[in-house]
Amino acid sequence: MIRLGLTGGIGAGKSTVAKTFVERGAYIIDADKIAREVVEPGTEGLEKLVEAFGSDILSADGSLDRPALAAKAFVDEESRKKLNAITHPLIGARTQELLEAAPEDAVVVQDIPLLVENHTAPFFHLVVIVHADEDVRLHRLTTMRGVDEADARARIAAQATEEQRRAVADVWLDNSGTPEELAAAAAEVWDRRLVPFEANVRARRAAEPDPELIALEPNPDGPSARVVNRLWAIAGERAAAVEVVDAEKVQLRIVARDGAAAEQLTDLLAVGGFAPAEPGVYRSCDPGRPATVVVETA
């Protein structure tokens, strides 16, 4: 199994990519759908929201009146934190349930609009960003979705910048063209990168690097910084340090806190996408991102 984080700015075309992946067999977890599910009528989430913000956040039929909740929950930082303290644990628990139900050979696609803003990119095997220029997104929002232009501009401005997205992106899908062109690009990513990556992780096998995929690296500074963050996410407190040895060759070092931690890292790295190649040496299972990780003991 591999977990893929899918995100992009509002109006970028993320739903087209998600649909393409699902058609090819992806196990989808939609963060927006879960956020709605955990506050449906009769749920613990809705009950807690009413307790916190009052019964006037309900519609006549007993469902959540989202504009009414927003008018109360986003008036100040304290109210926003109160909202998040109720909904985030419920969303996290439901997401974990769905992850545990995924098949062992799944390509899990987690559709998360605020993945960049929430700083969760290191916890995925791959991050796919769907991008369109701001003027293109503005046109789509105002003409296809009927969003007021000022509101559309405000929504775009409140999200991550292109630079912030590129910093975490493993795959960059440009959607300046037609939906058909975007779907074709997503299908190629699925066939050439995601399917081999998942098979390699399951087999604990290093990838055969694909030069054409490697050439599509979206970050001009290269992947080393992203890999460092992923290795910290994998190793956690077992690591005393994670260092870049050679940025150009994407060679990294984890300094394990002790021998027991180094042993535990063998399985954790394999599950995280770095197959054991020889004692203390691990290689990337991703054909689009070759990397070598050496584990030493402090």
Residues annotated as binding site for ATP? 11-16
Binding residues, as ranges, are 11-16
> Using an 8 Å Cβ cutoff, are 173 and 10 in contact?
no
Strand partners, 162: none
Q: Count Cβ neighbours within 10 Å for each residue of 242-275 and write b for 16 or more, e otherwise.
A: bebeeeeebbbbbbbeeeebbeebbeebbebbbb
> Using an 8 Å Cβ cutoff, are 245 and 228 in contact?
no
Q: Is 27 exposed, middle or buried (0-12, 13-18, 19+ CB in 10 A)?
A: buried
3-state secondary structure of 221: coil
Give residue 285's identity as a one-letter amino acid code. Answer: C
